[in-house]
Amino acid sequence: DGGITQSPKYLFRKEGQNVTLSCEQNLNHDAMYWYRQDPGQGLRLIYYSQIVNDFQKGDIAEGYSVSREKKESFPLTVTSAQKNPTAFYLCASSGTEYEQYFGPGTRLTVT
Amino acid sequence: GNSVTQMEGPVTLSEEAFLTINCTYTATGYPSLFWYVQYPGEGLQLLLKATKADDKGSNKGFEATYRKETTSFHLEKGSVQVSDSAVYFCALSKSGAGSYQLTFGKGTKLSVIP
């Protein structure tokens, strides 16, 4: 079945450590996205990529980094510079239509 | 800039009640409009969409009509079930070239009680 996978579902890290969240899609979509979700705040765009080897900052890119070396993969690194990294992270992709398809999410807890 | 405003929740309804979740938007051009649903602990699923004025999106008994004159895209269902309990997000796409970004509302939590 085509879809988006994110791993792991739950992730725990100590403050000061970088952590990388995985996102893989087999939908043959060109565009991929990373969102952060906090209670009561909806979704906020962190980074997006329209094609391989290219990506753009979203609304809250500070403290995050991404790469897009393959069409299928768009990993997100949460760096130690991110002041409040505990959140639910969602990856999405889109093809020729504007709707985005989402993965199951990764809940990151930093203590 | 673009923005989406949803009615604040939580919304609590009895099974078989009628549901309306209001959504209004501000955007330049002609955006596409979407409703997504998120069940506890999961990602978002596309529920329905409309790409131009007066279009009606529908899925699983839910409907929403793209009203350009009132800049609205209200979600409705005639008879809700316990399984409809979830958070619902209204969203719009930026119009024009390279329109890949979605702007989301803050979400409305729906609880349906037996």
pLDDT for B90-99, tens place per residue? 999 875 545 5
Structural tokens at position A111 = 């203590």
Contacts B46 to A, Cβ<8 Å: 99-101
| Number of residues assigned to chain A | 111
Listed by number, the residues of chain A in 7-46 with a beta carbon closer than 8 Å to a beta carbon of chain B are 31, 33, 40-43, 45
Contacts A43 to B, Cβ<8 Å: 44, 89, 104
First-to-last C-alpha distance (Å) of chain B: 41
Residue B32 to residue A40, Cβ atoms within 8 A: no
Report the relative pairing of strands B11-14 and B108-113 from DSSP bridges: parallel
Contacts B45 to A, Cβ<8 Å: 102
pLDDT for A17-34, tens place per residue? 999 999 999 999 999 999
Min Cα separation B45/chain A (Å): 7
Candidates A110, A97, A18, A105; CA nearest to A65 is A18
pLDDT value, residue A92: 95
pLDDT for B31-84, tens place per residue? 899 999 999 889 999 999 999 999 999 999 999 999 999 999 999 999 999 999
Q: Which residues contact A101 (CB under 8 A, 6 or more apart)?
A: A3, A4, A25, A27, A29, A92, A93, A94, B46
Candidates A77, A69, A29, A35; CA nearest to A50 is A29
CB-based contact, B88 to chain A, within 8 Å: no
